[in-house]
Amino acid sequence: MTPIPSGCAACKDASEIFPFTMAFQPIVDLQESRIDAYEALVRGPGGEGAGHVLGQVTNETRYAFDQACRVRAIELAARLGLDRQLNINFLPNAVYEPRACIRLTLEAAARTGFPLDRLTFEIVETEDLADPGHLRRIVTEYRRQGFKIALDDFATGYSGLSRLAELRPDIIKLDRALVQDCDKDQARLAIAASMIGLGRELDIKVVLEGVETCAEVEALRGAGGRFMQGFYFARPAFEAVVRDDALWPARAA
C-alpha cells in the first residue's frame, strides 16, 4: 500500500473542526419530471448560511474541513435515504494528494453503504491553481474510483473553454449570472443556448443554476435546457431532502 504523504497529517484529525452540517438542494430533470441529483451545501448547526461556515475555515484547517465536508455529506445522505446522485463541492487546492485524500471518502461510503457511482464532485474554483497538472491528477484519480466530475460556476470563475477541453467533465453548471433574467436578455439566453448545444455535442450534461422564475424556466426550456437547479423548484432543505412528489405531486397520485 502506498504510504500517506506526511503533508496529509492535516487531514487525519478533524476533532478541532467547528460544528457544521449540510442542506440538500435538488437538481431537476425537466424531461423526465424527476429529481436527477442533490447538491450538498454546507450549513451551520443552527441553519446558518455557507458564508458563516466558510468564514471559519483557515489555512491550517482547510484540508481537514474539506475531508470532513465529504464525510458529513455522505453520512447524512445515507441516513436520509438519498437515492439519486449526490454532488459534493471541493476545492482542488485543498487536496494534498489525490489518492491519499480520497481515503476518508471511500471509508465513509463503505461504512454507510453509499454507492461510489452516485458521487459527483463539483470543482469549485474560487482560487486559481498554481499547478494545473494537479487538477488533472485529481480528475484522473476520481474517475478511476468511479466518481463523476462537474465544473461549477462554469465561465464565471477560472473555468473556461480550454479547461473544458482539457478535463472533459461529465457535467458543467452554468451560474446564476448567466441565467438571471434570461427571458428578457437575449444575450444571456443565446449564451446559455450555445452552452447547452455544446454540451450536447460533447456528451456533457449542462445544469442551469439559480433558476428563480417560471419565465426563466420556460426560456431555458425553449433553448434546450433540461437540467435545472434553483429556488423556483426548491430551496436547500436543512438536513433533509425534497422528494419527487413535492415537485411533481401528480406523479404520486
What's the per-residue H, E or C state across the chain? CCCCCHHHHHHHCCCCCCCCEEEEEEEEECCCCEEEEEEEEEECCCCCCHHHHHCCCCCCCHHHHHHHHHHHHHHHHHHCCCCCEEEEEECHHHCCCHHHHCHHHHHHHHHHCCCHHHEEEEECCCCCCCCHHHHHHHHHHHHHCCCEEEEEEECCCCCCHHHHHHHCCCEEEECHHHHCCCCCCHHHHHHHHHHHHHHHHHCCEEEECCCCCHHHHHHHHHCCCCEECCCCCCCCEECCCCCHHHHCHHHHC
Strands 227-228, 85-90: pairing kind: unpaired
> 241 Cβ partners below 8 Å, 6+ apart?
24, 26, 38, 77, 80, 81, 82
pLDDT per residue as tens, the chain (253 positions): 334 444 455 555 555 689 999 999 999 999 999 999 999 999 999 999 999 999 998 888 888 898 899 999 999 999 999 999 999 998 777 777 777 778 889 999 999 999 999 999 998 765 555 566 888 888 999 999 999 999 988 876 555 787 888 888 999 999 998 999 999 999 999 999 999 999 999 999 999 999 999 999 999 999 999 999 999 999 999 999 999 999 987 555 4
Q: What is the pLDDT of residue 165?
A: 84
Pick from 12, 79, 8, 17: which is nearest to 42 by CA? 17
Q: Is residue 215 part of a domain?
A: yes
Q: Is residue 70 part of a domain?
A: yes
Determine the Cα–Cα distance for residues 74 and 87; give it in Å rounded to an integer.
Answer: 10
Count of the separate structural domains present in the chain: 1
Tell me the CATH number at 189: 3.20.20.450
Q: What is the pLDDT of residue 60?
A: 83
Q: What is the pLDDT of residue 209?
A: 96
Q: Is residue 11 part of a domain?
A: no
Q: Is residue 222 part of a domain?
A: yes
Residue 23 grid coordinates: 442542506
Name residue 207's beta-bridge partners. 173, 227
Q: Is residue 180 part of a domain?
A: yes
CB 114 within 8 A of CB 78: yes
CB 167 within 8 A of CB 149: yes
Q: What is the pLDDT of residue 11?
A: 56
**Domain, as residue range, for 161:** 17-242
Region at 78 (left for phi over 0; alpha for psi -120 to 50; beta for the rest): alpha
Q: Is residue 10 part of a domain?
A: no
Q: What is the pLDDT of residue 130?
A: 55
Phi, psi of 42 (to 5 degrees): -70, 140
